[in-house]
Amino acid sequence: MVAYVIVDIEVHNPENYKTYLAQITPTVFACGGRYLVRGAQAQVISGAWQPKRLVVMEFPDIATANHWATCAEYAPIHALRNANASANMIIVEGSVDFVG
């Protein structure tokens, strides 16, 4: 079952952040992921959430998404993001379970 990584990023250092983007993009593809939304402007319809730079990636499964987000191999690249931006990141499994 697919999994989605959803990230809300506030970039503090745009020039250095470009270096992060160049390095992180190949890792998404290497893990079988793809970008569904990248840097899109969000329109808030309800609530107080004000996303800055929204990114949504799809991975083949939750294990792969977790690997991409937490593996030691990519940690220096994620650290580069954290040095140049603030990010809130979640992983969501792609199933829908309706109660009713």
Read off the tokens for 79: 């650290």
At residue 79, φ and ψ (nearest 5 deg) are -65, -35
Residue ranges of domains in the chain, CATH in brackets: 3-93 (3.30.70.100)
The helix/strand/coil state of 79 is: helix
Q: What is the mean pLDDT of the chain?
A: 94
CA distance linking residue 50 with residue 70, whole number of Å: 26
Q: Which of 97, 74, 98 is nearest to 89 (CA)?
A: 74
pLDDT of residue 69: 97
> Could you tell me if 2 and 60 are in contact, meaning their C-beta atoms sit under 8 angstroms apart?
yes
Contact (CB, 8 A) for 89 and 51: no
Predicted confidence band of residue 98 (pLDDT cuts 50, 70, 90): low
Identify which of 97, 66, 75, 84 has the alpha carbon closest to the alpha carbon of residue 11: 84
What predicted TM-score, i.e. pTM, was given to this entire model? 0.89
Asked whether the predicted pLDDT for residue 95 surpasses 90, the reply is no
